[in-house]
Amino acid sequence: MSISSIVSFSKNCFNFRCVIKLCHFLTRYLYFCVSFLYDLCMIDMEMDARDMSFFPDKSFDAVVDKGTLDSLMCGSDAPISSVKMLGEVSRLLKPGGIYMLITYGDPKVRMPHLTRSIYNWKIILYIIPRPGFEKPGGSSSNSHLEPVPISDTGVLPADFVLEDPDSHFIYVCKKMDETTEVSDIPSYPLIADAL
């Protein structure tokens, strides 16, 4: 039987959503309920995103972050907190797992945190303009459903123009195992219906 679950963490201003699929740990050790419509389950736990030692290594297939890293980056100990949180995310992801960071933080300020070799992530960047934004006349840029090309160090091309300064940046970080070469992983465009 396939179990789809959502685990939600919160600690003061830290809201952390982790999406888990086929999580045997939850089926054995935690109380859960399966929705008759979508086989979805919601378990609320209060936990600091910088220390999730409650969970064993490689427990999650996916982690979705909308605001947690941003909140940590506003604190006085931002560099230490971000390293701790991202280290926990990396520890908890299974090989092939996805960490999806949705943020206003552009690559200049987020990529230095995400590209640490210890995380072993293949990173694909999408830039999504705000709803209702229209490209200036004569714009020749690619569709926002296509990944934005970035270098291995996370630098945008020199000729890249950010048309909407209020865009969301979506970093899709895939955890590689030791045997997978980063260059062997293809990137796929987003599907319009998914937005």
Condensed to tens digits (0 to 9), the pLDDT of residues 153-174 reads 778 888 888 888 888 999 999 9
Whether residue 32 lies inside any domain: the answer is no
Query: What average pLDDT does this structure show over 127-133?
Result: 86
Contacts of 80 (CB under 8 A, 6+ apart): none
Closest CA to 171 of 105, 116, 117, 118: 105
pLDDT at 2 (0 to 100): 46
Whether residue 17 lies inside any domain: the answer is no
Give 32's Cβ-side CA count (13 Å radius).
22
Main-chain phi, psi angles of 39, to 5 degrees: 50, 40
Condensed to tens digits (0 to 9), the pLDDT of residues 176-187 reads 986 544 444 444
pLDDT at 12 (0 to 100): 41
Whether residue 36 lies inside any domain: the answer is no
Closest CA to 101 of 115, 91, 114: 114
* 62 strand-pairing partners: 98
**What percent of the chain clears pLDDT 70, i.e. is strictly above it?**
64
- The pTM assigned to this predicted structure is 0.70
Domain count of the fold of the chain? 1
Q: Answer whether 21's CB lies under 8 Å from 4's CB.
A: yes
Tell me which residue has tokens 């200036």: 136
**What percent of the chain clears pLDDT 90, i.e. is strictly above it?**
38
Domain range holding 105?
A: 48-133+141-194
Whether residue 3 lies inside any domain: the answer is no
Does the CA dihedral 72-73-76-79 come out positive or negative? positive
7 pLDDT more than 50: yes
**Which domain CATH number covers 65?**
3.40.50.150
Q: Answer whether 68's CB lies under 8 Å from 13's CB.
A: no
pLDDT at 177 (0 to 100): 83
* 21 strand-pairing partners: 4
Condensed to tens digits (0 to 9), the pLDDT of residues 92-113 reads 999 999 999 999 998 988 999 9
Give 143's Cβ-side CA count (13 Å radius).
8
Whether residue 96 lies inside any domain: the answer is yes
Provide the mean pLDDT of the chain: 74
Closest CA to 126 of 142, 137, 138: 142
pLDDT at 42 (0 to 100): 57
